[in-house]
Copies of this chain bind each other. A is one copy, B any other.
Amino acid sequence: MVRKLKVAVSGLGRMGARHARHFLERTPRAELVAACDPDPKARAWAKQCLEPYGTVIYEDFDEMLRHPGLEAVVVSGITSEHAPQTSRAIEKDLHVLCEKPLSTDIATCQRVVDAAKQKPHLKVLCGFSRRFDASYRDAWNQIDAGDIGRATVIRSQTCDKYRDDDYFVQYAKHSGGIFVDANVHDIDLTLWYFGQDSIVKSVSAFGVVARYPGLKQYGDVDNGIAVVEFWGGRIAYYFSSRMMMAGQTDTTEVIGTHGKLMINASPANNLVEMHEPNGIRREIAQTYYDRFEQAFVTESNEFTAAVLDNTKLPFKLTGAVQAVKIGAAMTKSLRTGKKIDFDELGNEIEEVQKARL
């Protein structure tokens, strides 16, 4: 009989519950042996939906880590627990798939990366879901094949559908701000397409509050724009928004010296178009998950395969630190109204100068 990877999921909120189901139902080489959540409601759901399939439900994360035979953990709870839980799992010699971001704090991110480096036999993956999306991969293959020459300018956006409640305001308390929460995906894509070793030269960010005044108390905005220059003549520019009316609108454009790739320039939820008295209409994905569901499933499967077969993960953990670093610089630029400059080693010049004094 084939061996199946014994996996546990920590955190059964919206995204965590999905991860659980992906490992339970759509990852044939894995077995969901355990799940945990401190919230009784989440555990009640798990008892109904996971337990019948043999998954053991825990309240406590550390207790779950002691589940017999456990090999890998998915860390998917609140952001502030990402780093500590990942670190403790690594300590216990477990493979980890951690939701992005590792942390909204760069030093914390770096500590996780350092911990992972100590145990090179472990697979530790930060879940940048777009890396597993078929369209983004197709684009990467074309870039890698040289089809568009040298990738020079990237435009990328992560834009959520407007919600008529205070979800985004509540969320802003812990999200790290729109750049770290939303554009971090676009930054990660940039590092993928420009090269993981690209060194940031400057970060400038801008934003407005147009629909959710409550964001102001957290220094956050509902529409953000940022420009990132990289050493070596490359630029990326980003947009993020919480007020798209039609739905989730994540578009990326990679402009090379000899061609251009557009990803999702004309969003559509499926293949149906409606011809109506006022024109032709199509619906689009309503949520991030609507758009990237299949990518999340691919993520579960590839993480599982990398562990079982001891093969390379599709990308390195260090990129996750770099992405958060750039996202945090955006937040700083937004709040100070200043452009943040970096030296050719990628160190923030102002910080370097401060350190010298």
Contacts and interface: CB of A to CB of B under 8 A. Distances in A.
A275 B259 contact: yes
Contacts of A227: 204, 206, 225, 227
Contacts of A122: none
Interface string A38-59: 0000000000000011100000
B279 A246 contact: yes
A311 interface: no
A229 B225 CA distance: 10
Given A206-B235, A233-B209, A257-B243, A52 B1 contact: yes
Contact of A275 (B153, B246, B272): B246
A258 interface: yes
**Which of the four size classes fits the interface of chain A?**
35 or more
A281 B147 CA distance: 13
Interface in A247-271: 247, 249, 255, 257-268, 270-271
A282 B283 contact: no
A25 B241 CA distance: 38
Interface in A268-308: 268, 270-284
A257 to B, nearest CB: 5
Contacts of A265: 265-266, 271, 273
A211 interface: yes
B272 A279 contact: no
Contact of A28 (B25, B138, B281): B25
A312 interface: no
Give the number of copies in the complex.
Answer: 4
Contact of A53 (B1, B153, B207): B1
Contact of A277 (B202, B245, B266): B245
B275 A244 contact: yes
A282 B158 CA distance: 23
A210 interface: yes
Contacts of A247: 279
A93 to B, nearest CB: 27
A241 to B, nearest CB: 7
A208 interface: yes
A86 interface: no
B257 A275 contact: no
Given A208-B234, A241-B255, A246 B153 contact: no
Contacts of A53: 1-2, 28
A271 B264 contact: yes
Contacts of A258: 245
Given A147-B274, A239-B153, A283-B279, A255 B223 contact: yes
B273 A283 contact: no
Interface string A108-149: 000000000000000000000000001100110010000100
Contacts of A260: 244-246, 274-275
5 contacts: A28-B53, A208-B235, A241-B255, A259-B275, A261-B273
Minimum-distance CB pairs A-B, first 3: A25-B28, A260-B275, A135-B271
Given A135-B270, A279-B282, A339-B339, 9 more contacts: A208-B235, A210-B257, A259-B274, A259-B275, A259-B276, A260-B274, A265-B266, A267-B280, A280-B284
